[in-house]
A and B are shown apart, each in its own frame.
Chain A
């Protein structure tokens, strides 16, 4: 009853200040949009125009239409980089999302030492990519790496982690999970903290088991966070670059060549900026498609719930 009354009142207030109401949202948006258009949107659009040219940064850009895009689909390295990237996502996305949630729930418990664990799990995320690469190159080294050393206690023969075609991508995936899972943990933790405790307690008083509390209370209320995390994880893993660049450079035999890595090589090592930018825009198209699929799936599962 009170709800309805309040809503009526709000309607009145809003109507009364109709002019005011229309301008205010834009005032809220202006500061951000100034930065967004100048530093993100504008340069990205400029990048799109670059993708229609042949340009080596130094000389004059030459307009070639969509030739770069046509060339790309006949470029076996590019196709390889795409399939590699999808394989990388398969290895990392489930672990990063589910693992991130589980760790967040763990350190959200009222346990002694939860701050210590939080800090340590997040710590890798603040380390620079070059350093992450060097540390893991040591760990994964076939002959003097600590991983093979400890595996040898279990009778496992030395694995050529970074130099075998079969193991290189899983090795990069392991390093990536270690490096970035703290990011997802933080987001999930923030989501969990935003859920009022009262709701969970109420459910518990009603006799719900821990699992039921999670499935019926926590998880639905967490869904805005879950959507954010899944989407960011998809985007970030599709654009995987730094760790590959440092650890394997895309090798051996292009086994770890990813799309953005390939784009970097073309743009900044071969100085073919137009071609590189075209790769960027194919990444864009792929990701938009991927996110639309993800959205429709989440929407469906939401309907069922």
Chain B
């Protein structure tokens, strides 16, 4: 009896030991894709694992903010992931902390060069002349529209860029009060609107982004060239805010203070929505919704639209073996990023992007992509362009777009706050 159990333990140890020995190299991959986009990435990872038996990649998804918190704390204890996804504008902050491996030579060795990628995406991987990330995709604002509501209003959805005026006329025709009247008509009742023209974010930091793209449409940058101070003409800033503010308070085409514009659009409360491509899976899932996209209106002289892009980084403090395996995986992922287009994001790699053209609802994003304007790339990004409630850009957006405050004083206050953060 005793002998038997000893034997059993011995056998078990041997089996367990060999299993351990034969275990593939483990790679931890972190990203902020908490929705259907996470499923797409998970499938890509599963495909890689099945074709590369010597390596096992595990994808961990979590909202971006706690993910970065976790990364920062974990890097103190040497527990960084092997691959970390982030956005182009996040790169300077983590690179300046010295947490990311410079990848220029690796990217070159993999045979990638600038001409093979969307320009905005490629540029989003550098900090101080060094390349720290593989570009994965682009995502930018666009206008989603509800086809049925457009038909009802006798409108044909545009397929390319339109002017601000054209856009406004459409939005007015799509806004209906309970007596069937539109804004501007006599007897229109702004307190009893049953259907709005457009859902715009105003409570969170997207309000600022909607403004930022209008500033870029006038040809100005948010910060000065050395990125030490706010550097746009107040007049231009005011014009941009005014356009947005009027949509809410003058023309009544956008619901004020909506806390979930996406849901308002999904249930047909609004006929249009300005949002990013990550909402595409939600559109597809919504029963009975017929939707499409077109670029945001060109309100000023130039075409420009806010966008960002996911990039893949390799944090420091890994042994050579893991580093090499991580590089191989990321290279593979970029080359196979075609399917990533199913998540809604527009692949940065040119050959992979072609596939996106064949997918429904991408019109607005593909037409907008060449004009994508990212936020300035600064090491203090997490505080300057924060989505937290105390963030000056969030408060300014709420003051102007939700509380209808006078634009100029709010804007000056916002600039002072940003300058203070930059000067600290």
Contacts and interface: CB of A to CB of B under 8 A. Distances in A.
A and B touch in the complex (CB under 8 A): yes
Interface of A: 56-59, 77, 137, 141-144, 160, 162-165, 248-254, 256-257, 261-262, 265, 268-271
Interface residues of B, number: 35
Given A162-B259, A249-B388, A253-B402, A270 B267 contact: no
Contacts of A270: 382-383, 386, 388
A140 B402 CA distance: 18
Given A257-B389, A269-B65, A270-B386, 12 more contacts: A57-B76, A58-B97, A137-B260, A143-B263, A163-B203, A165-B403, A249-B204, A249-B387, A249-B388, A261-B389, A269-B386, A270-B388
12 contacts: A143-B255, A143-B258, A143-B267, A160-B257, A165-B403, A250-B390, A268-B65, A268-B66, A269-B386, A269-B388, A270-B382, A271-B382
A137 to B, nearest CB: 7
A144 B270 CA distance: 12
B382 A144 contact: no
A271 B379 CA distance: 12
Interface of B: 65-66, 69, 72-73, 75-76, 97-99, 203-204, 255-260, 263-264, 267, 269, 382-383, 386-390, 394-395, 398-399, 402-403
A254 B255 CA distance: 21
Closest 8 A/B residue pairs (Cβ): A250-B389, A163-B257, A251-B389, A268-B69, A58-B97, A163-B259, A265-B388, A270-B383
Given A58-B99, A143-B263, A269-B69, A250 B388 contact: yes
Contacts of B387: 249
A251 B170 CA distance: 31
Specify the main secondary structure of chain A where it touches its partner.
Answer: loop
A6 B191 CA distance: 79
Contacts, number: 92
A275 B41 CA distance: 37
Contacts of B403: 165, 253
Contacts of A268: 65-66, 69
Given A143-B264, A262-B390, A57 B73 contact: yes
Contacts of A142: 255, 257-259
Contacts of B264: 143-144
A220 B40 CA distance: 62
Most buried by A among B257, B389, B403: B389
A270 B66 CA distance: 12
B97 A252 contact: no
Given A57-B76, A144-B263, A253 B399 contact: yes
Given A143-B258, A257-B389, A252 B402 contact: yes
B72 A57 contact: yes
B358 to A, nearest CB: 34
Contacts of A144: 263-264, 267, 269
A248 B257 CA distance: 13
B72 A271 contact: yes
Given A143-B263, A249-B389, A269-B388, A58 B257 contact: no
A131 B97 CA distance: 34
